[in-house]
Structure 1
Amino acid sequence: MDELCLRYRNWGRWGEDDQRGTLNFITPGVLVHAASMIRSGRVVSCGLPFDDEGPQRGGFGGRTNPVHSMLQDGGDIALGAQDHLAVLRYTDDAVSMPLQCGTQWDALAHIFYRGQMWNGHGLEHVTSTGATLNSIDRIADGVVGRGILLDIPRHRGVRWLEAGQGIGAEELADCAAAQGVEVRSGDIVLVRTGQIAQVRATGTWGEYDSGPAPGLGVSAAHWFASHEIAALATDTWGAEVLPNDTPGVFQPLHLILLVNAGMTIGEIFDLEGLATACEEEGRYDFFFSAPPLPITGAVGSPINPLAIF
């Protein structure tokens, strides 16, 4: 683990003050090329609904599903609560939610390795008031660029991967080749395991929240780092295969890729509609836009990722 963390460490690569990590691979030229991916105008959302039917069951860190409440509704209007206003009436609402309870990006301040986060910064930079370095608002003008989907169940010829089945570097390369995708520096890679399809087929979230799951194995680090991927995301709770394939180390790819390589990681993406669109469009690359909410000091953010063909 230590050897892999050091091998792929990018601390200082973009300067001692950098807080973007591998998103720096999305250069102006990369973004201009990404814009050329828009051809048919088809738009697909990769975000799950933010409601009380989400995947959280309190299994990890006390995370809950969003709580939506109305501040002003039709009843308020009918009862005259807004009669002091001239002609106009309105409705208003609020949401209370953990920022990582649904489709979301991890900030580079989310994970620590031996007391340090991205670019070698210590624990003192994340306090009860939030993160002063590497917070999610530091990448508010991203994540946007060329996206590619690696549809692993389709590549294997199955409906979905089962819990505990890992995805390594060789399979990622084989899947990309089979789909006819040329992987480029600065790409944003979405990896489908089909776990959301399994949830819908069975009618229950089951152990989706931090339980056994398919996902990326530790060897996947070689593929992501060697291709200079800007960000990665999957359709599972934690992106990595669970149980992890490194006894004694929890979530090793988060340590290697997020903390040391500086790679933004997304989780709980809904990739089912995108998989269908890719097959129908006959290609697995697209323009991808998924900027986080600029929440000052936050270590994660809910998003509504959009793939545009």
Structure 2
Amino acid sequence: MDRTDPEGAIAKAAARVSNWGRWGPDDVLGTMNLLDDAKRREAAALVRTGASYSLSQSFDMDGPQRGWRRRTNPVHTMLDTGCDAAAGVQGFPHGIGGADDVIAMPLQCSTQWDGLGHIFDHGRAWNGRPAEQVVTSLGDAVTGIETVADRIAGRGVLLDVGRTFGEDGELPDGFAITEEHLEATIAAQGPTSAVGRGDIVVVRTGQLTRARREGWGEYAGGSAPGLSFTTVDWLHRTEIAAIATDTWGFEVRPNEFDDAFQPLHQVVIPHIGLFIGEMWDPDALAGACAADGNHDFLLTAAPLKITGAVGAPVNPVAVR
């Protein structure tokens, strides 16, 4: 890979792995086409103990955001409180009182999905559509996140690359996870880690574990372990429906080219049609998987059904 030529590498990769037209010219689902009813039935049979794990970080003002491109942490405000009820100022009859609240936040400030309208390549969105015809000031009129609100439930597979290759379960910042690392992790974890068509892969790097211990630092947008650009063929060949990590940006940072910004995104979202999850929290799940050796599970991860959104918050739940 020529570090000085990101544009050439992106173009070659896009030509190799493009799914444009695979599901017809009007497709809005991308790789979610690979997660079908049969795959969901298979996933339901993976519930062994019934134990469930949230894979979401918290949504609060103590999150990792630092204001990059106006991304801030959630601001939660109470509209009505127990104090108001106790003071009798709410105006309700026969003693009933209540509480209400509101939250203001960017849709990708914590655990979230990147939708298909999130990234473009030279002005082209998923399936080759002109970006300006997909996302306007009114939102994503074609591939808004609401199109997959009833889709993302299926077989999840945890690949704990941090546990396999890291010191004390954590990969160092800047560690590029290659196809070889992914396959070696699958081999080390055993047959329940086999990855295939329609699966939702969760990659644990251990960076979130470190951030919890040491503070957020530059977690949002700084150096991080993540997937190498060279995994693009693996991501296409395995026919997974989606992939998520415990990092801010999914791919290794700094990126592997001398002058680039998120080049793997530029291929996998608009060309493969792959859904990417970021800032997930797989730590508790990873401990359970390591304890009994089972690394696949039923995973539900529906985004909030926000019309026209190019990304959305999610509370993924793994059931083992």
Q: Percent identity?
A: 48
Aligned twin of 1:265: 276
Moved over 6 A (4+): none
What residue in structure 2 maps to residue 201 of structure 1? 213
How many residues end up aligned between the 2 structures? 307
> Shift of the alpha carbon at 1:246?
2.7
Q: Which residue of 2 aligns with 1:211?
A: 222
Name the aligned partner's letter for residue 179 of structure 1.
Answer: Q
CA distance in 2, matches of 1:210, 1:276: 27
1:165 aligns with 2:165: no
Q: Which has the higher helix share?
A: 2
Rounded to whole Å, the distance in 1 between the matches of 2:120 and 2:86 is: 52
| 1:304 paired to 2:304 | no
- The one-letter code of the counterpart of 2:273 is G
Contact 1:142–1:292 under 8 Å retained in 2? no
Cα pair 1:173 1:223 within 8 Å, conserved = no
Give the C-alpha shift of residue 264 in structure 1. Answer: 0.2
The amino acid that maps onto 1:291 is A
Of 156, 162, 172, the residue aligned with 1:153 is 162
**Structure 2 residue aligned with 1:188, among 188, 195, 200?**
200
Q: Does 1:32 align with 2:44?
A: no
Which of these residues, 57, 68, 78, is aligned with residue 86 of structure 2?
A: 78
Gap runs ≥5 in structure 2: 1-9
Partner of 1:279: 290
Alpha-carbon shift at residue 281 of structure 1 (Å)? 3.0
Shift, 1:158, TM fit: 1.7
Cα deviation code 1:231-263 (max 9, x no counterpart): 000000000000111333321211111110000
Looking at structure 2, the residues matched to 129 and 157 of structure 1 have their Cα atoms a distance apart, in angstroms, of 44
Q: Do residues 110 (structure 1) and 118 (structure 2) align?
A: yes
Query: What residue is the counterpart of 1:174 in the other structure?
Result: 184
Cα pair 2:35 2:151 within 8 Å, conserved: no
**How far apart, in 1, do the equivalents of 2:93 and 2:48 lie?**
47
Name the SS for the 1:240 alignment partner. Answer: coil
CA distance in 2, matches of 1:209, 1:292: 21
Describe the superposition over 1:28-67 as per-residue Cα deviations: whole angstroms up to 9, x where unpaired: 1111111111111010110001000101011x21100000
Q: Does 1:4 align with 2:13?
A: yes
Contact 1:152 1:191 in 2 (8 A): yes
SS in 1 for 2:70: coil
CA distance in 1, matches of 2:110, 2:183: 28
Q: Distance in 1 between matches of 2:120 and 2:89?
A: 49
What residue in structure 2 maps to residue 131 of structure 1?
140
Distance 2:180 2:24 in 1: 32
Structure 1 residue 147, shift from structure 2 partner: 0.4
What amino acid is aligned across from residue 127 of structure 2 in structure 1?
N
- Aligned to 1:39, what secondary structure does the other structure show? coil
TM-score normalised according to structure 2 size: 0.93
**SS of residue paired to 1:200:** helix
Which stretch of the first structure deviates more once superposed, 279-288 or 37-46? Answer: 279-288
Which residue identity lines up with residue 97 of structure 1 in the other structure? Answer: M
Q: 1:78: how far off?
A: 2.1
Matched-pair contact (CA < 8 Å) for 1:26–1:186? yes
Indicate if the aligned counterparts of 2:189 and 2:293 stay in contact, CA closer than 8 A: no
Q: 1:235 maps to which residue?
A: 246
Instruction: Decide whether the 8 Å contact of 1:163 with 1:213 is kept in 2.
Output: yes
- TM-score, normalised relative to structure 1: 0.97
Tell me which residue corresponds to 2:301. Answer: 290
Opposite residue 186 of structure 2, the aligned amino acid is A
Query: Displacement of 1:157 after TM fit?
Result: 4.8
Q: How far apart in 1 are the matches of 2:23 and 2:89? A: 55
